[in-house]
Amino acid sequence: MIPLIDRWNSVGRPRVCVIGDLILDCYHWGAAERISPEAPVLVLRSEGEEDRLGGAASVASLLRGLNCDVSLIGIVGDDVEGRRIKTLVAEMGVDPRPIIVDPSRPTTKKTRILGSTNQRQPHQLLRLDRECTRLVDGELEQTLIDAITAAIPQASMVLVSDYGKGCCTPVLLRTIFDVAKRHGIPVAVDPAKNVSYDRYRNASILTPNRTEASAATGTKIHTSIDAANAGRKLCVDLDIQTVVLKLDREGLVICHRTEPPQVVQTVPRTVCDVTGAGDMVLAVLGLCLANDWSLTDAAEVANVAAGLEVERVGVTQISREEIAASLRAAKSRTTHQKVVTCEFAGELADRYRQEGRKITFTNGCFDLFHAGHLHSLEQAGSHGDILFVAVNDDSSISRLKGSGRPIIPQEQRLAIVAALSCVDHVILMDEDTPHRILNSVRPHVLAKGAPYTPSQVVGGEIVLEYGGTIAITETLPDLSTTLLQARIATGS
């Protein structure tokens, strides 16, 4: 299997067709220095302003930042803001001609006022929106349909960014799905808030956030399990292949109609501004899927990219190199992140069970780590999909083995076990038995090396009681920490 970082570094440059509501994002920056004498409000000393592309144009911009070929279709008003969007689109190397002008509506514009103090990171103080949400119809709708019919066959992927500003009519969406299906091109839709989701019927992929999915299904979404249930309901009700549900800091949940859900966890980030995170998820999913990636791998990279996006103010392009660097950093953090608490191990195990994955557990001291330990852990891992390993802490080893043990301190033993590819999670065990951890993780299989028999495995009664099994793994002859210690002591 090709590592994810290597796949990302070799990702191609496909053409992605982006369709949806076009927005001009206007940022006004200022230093908050005092309170106005006229009213109890902040006075900002203006330090500049900037226009950026928003909505579907934001998705196109993020794709261009990822070195992707893009076609963009949407509507603007016959006004300064509409012309500004066309100019910005042309400047980033995208043909603005498929952007249709509607003289009867204003261009959607979001003006954000951001203030900072003492050179700190600026934060939004106010947002002023100017918009028209009336659905396009008649000749204008047909003009958009003509542009879509011409553009989709030239693309490898279609992304629909529906902000509920009137572009994505039910007729328009049906046309997109029909034309794309006819040409074998997948369509991913980022849905609007407060609309009937029936308009998204037959989309390939739907990417709602927690609030949107909750409103669409009438259910509260607090956990990944709730998200999986809501996503599956959307798949079934709307005849959609896949729902990728965005849970902010909790990552993404990939839901299918019949297959088990998958949870793609995120790395904790310092959140500066959530603006653009959803657009980034859609853009990266589009780029990866256009390169025939699996949805799981695409979601992994999309999660990383969205994490980078929330660390910045406003919608900001992220380069392929920045994502690659973050993927490398995530890989280097893997060993440390494998070490989890007993409580968090239980939460992880619940997620894995929801995904239909088989959990295996084993435990030991792993002092003076040797080939026998490695063989035993690899055998334990072969009994399931996810391997949890409990490692005795120093004090429990001293109680079990005597005052001369352990030889290797617990931090180093944890790091050694966590570094193994066959091990998914490591728990420091500060008790003489694994009973508390077993009750938390509830593995399908409890593995232990010979010469133990199933009846002798400590904690086996817990696993058997809820229907789990015990597996006895093979051991390599004449290999143990006690024998190694004796050899070292005698120099033999």
Query: Closest Cα to residue 86, out of 282, 75, 152, 106?
Result: 75
Of 123, 103, 121, 98, nearest in space to 113 by CA? 123
279 as an active site residue: the answer is: yes
Among the listed residues 190, 279, 393, 424, the single catalytic one is 279
Closest by CA to 162, choosing from 127, 203, 103, 112, is 203
Per-residue tokens: 109: 């514009």
Show which residues are catalytic: 279
